[in-house]
Amino acid sequence: MVVMDPGSGRKRSPGDRFSAHDGGVAVTSTRLLTLLSLLSARTRWPGAELAARLEVGPRTLRRDVQALRDLGYEVVALKGPDGGYRLGAGGSLPPLLLDEDQAVAVALALRTSPTALSGTEDVAARALTGLLRVMPAHLRAAVEDLDITPVANPWAFLAPPGDSVVLRRVGAAVRRRRALRVEVLAADGRRPAPTDDDFVAPREVWPHHLVTWAGRWYLVAHDPADRTWPVLRLDRLHVLAGEGPVFERLGLPGRDAAAHVSGAVSRGDEPVGWPCVGEVLLDLPARTVAPWLPGGASVEPAGRRRSRVRLGAWSWAGVAGLLATFDADLEVVGPPELGEAVVRLGRRAERAVSGS
């Protein structure tokens, strides 16, 4: 078990004893850590139930609670027939309790995590350094043995890092059921002007879920004005100032949040940043195509059985190859380079079959 002594950063083993005393009786760190873990897991505990879980009497429980208070944790006594306790806000960060497999897993996750939010580039590195500092030597060696260098994959379709401030604000609105007034940014990140052809006026939405998919953050929201469920890319979302009213949370229409995002016809995606971006009409419905498009591609209906698809890749052959995976007839809208790549791909396929 990896334990951080709150406030000092010094590593302790479960057999150590805290220096907190009450009536001259030392309280073992194991029981204090168990008590702290129980208080963190629930909003309130009846005193009798808490004492039973710790296998101690009421007086010992009171001493343990006071020991936590002496260490800087705010433990609030609850009034009422059952009494009880809860962990107050604003105390120190609780000790880190991880078994050996969990500690190694967390360290590897920190080492290989991509930067998905601006302003957090060095946070994972600092967290990993802090975790390694308190690890026992054999665990630290196990993590250091796996010296991994993550390499970005251009086919991962990662988006530019989003704004951590926006993420926290939207996340708080989801949790508190507060409406947001938002406007969608242009693909290059600028706020649209009313004179723009693609200008969409700010609107009020009810935020319901945050979802990550294909290296992007999305907000699943309800638009009460037209009763739709838009999917909004967080890095292309500007949240206007002011806190909106509380709304009554509704259930998603027949799907969970993950399916709603992956199957959405419009996710605010626009393939920018690729050297080759093309557009085609595909003989498949948009809702059939949407779940299988790579992140960053866009699709919209072009009739009952047709869809308009825009996507990018590092080469025109790459765009043509991605389109070929749908195994459906298509019409190239543009540019001409994409049409030429589709023809070349077809000729290569013919030669591969004929052997010539």
Q: Is 38 contained in some domain?
A: yes
- Which of 43-52, 248-257, 293-302 reaches the highest mean pLDDT? 43-52
> Measured in Å, how far apart are the chain's first and last C-alpha atoms?
65
Q: State how far the Cα of 124 lies from the Cα of 126, in Å rounded to an integer.
A: 5
Domain that holds residue 304: 276-354
Question: pLDDT digit string (tens) for 113-172?
Answer: 665 565 555 677 777 787 787 777 888 887 777 777 766 666 555 566 667 788 888 999
Both 213 and 291 in one domain: the answer is no
Q: Verify that 104 and 27 share a domain, yes or no.
A: no
What percent of the chain has a predicted confidence (pLDDT) above 70?
78
Do 117 and 29 share a domain, yes or no? no
Residue 145 counted as domain residue: yes
Statement to judge: residues 280 and 256 lie in one domain: no
pLDDT beyond 50 at 25: no
Task: Please give the backbone phi and psi of residue 157, each rounded to the nearest 5 degrees, phi first.
Answer: 55, 40
Domain shared by 171 and 253, yes or no: yes
- Assess whether 199 and 169 both reside in one domain: yes
Q: Is 286 part of a structural domain of the chain?
A: yes
Kindly write down the DSSP assignment for every residue of 271-326, as one continuous string: --S-SEEEEEEESS-HHHHGGGSPTT-EEEESSTT-EEEEEEESSHHHHHHHHHTT
* Rounded distance between C-alpha atoms, residue 106 and residue 45, angstroms: 30
Taking the CA atoms of residue 175, residue 181, residue 187 and residue 193 in that order, the dihedral angle to the nearest 10 degrees is -170
| Whether residue 223 is found in the same domain as residue 311 | no
The vertex-338 CA angle with 334 and 341, nearest 5°, equals 155
Question: One-letter amino acid identity for 253?
Answer: P
Tens digit of each residue's pLDDT (9 = 90 or more) over 55-86? 899 999 999 999 888 877 888 998 877 788 98
State the Cα–Cα distance between residues 117 and 161, nearest whole angstrom: 4
pTM: 0.58
The answer on 340 and 252 residing in a single domain is no
Cβ atoms of 27 and 34 within 8 Å: the answer is no
